[in-house]
């Protein structure tokens, strides 16, 4: 599964805009978010749709989540917010 390119990130822009409002989260390059010096969240594109790799703890491993629908977007933002709290 390859990292999301510009066209895939364009489709995810509403989700990216929500993520940019979260405290402590810094977008190092478009669609790649860090907390401090540690990578935290990035996106992939696949024929099955877009996916996000999110760390459910700052020192943990990535978990993969599909982010095709508004409900899936909301779930990802909620999970990220919980980790950052």
pLDDT tens-place string over residues 8-49: 999 999 999 999 999 999 999 999 999 999 999 999 999 999
How far apart, in Å, are the Cα atoms of 34 and each of 12, 20, 47, 69? 18, 11, 26, 24
Burial of 75 by CB count in 10 Å (0-12 exposed, 13-18 middle, 19+ buried)? middle
Report domain extents, the chain: 2-84
Give the predicted TM-score (pTM) of the model: 0.92
d(CA 76, CA 31): 13
At 76, is the pLDDT very low, low, confident or very high (cuts 50, 70, 90)?
very high
pLDDT of residue 1: 80
DSSP β-bridge partners for residue 72: none
Q: Is 63 helix (H, G, I), strand (E, B) or coil?
A: strand
Give mean pLDDT, residues 72-81: 98
Stated as kind and residue range, the H or E segment containing 29 is strand 25-29
């Amino acid at each position: 599964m390859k990292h999301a390119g510009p066209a895939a990130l364009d489709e995810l822009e509403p989700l990216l805009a929500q993520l940019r409002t979260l405290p402590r989260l810094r977008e190092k390059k478009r669609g790649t978010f860090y907390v401090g010096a540690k990578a935290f969240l990035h996106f992939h594109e696949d024929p099955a749709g877009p996916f996000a790799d999110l760390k459910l703890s700052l020192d943990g491993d990535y978990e993969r989540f599909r982010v095709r629908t508004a409900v899936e977007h909301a779930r990802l933002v909620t999970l990220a917010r919980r980790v950052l709290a």
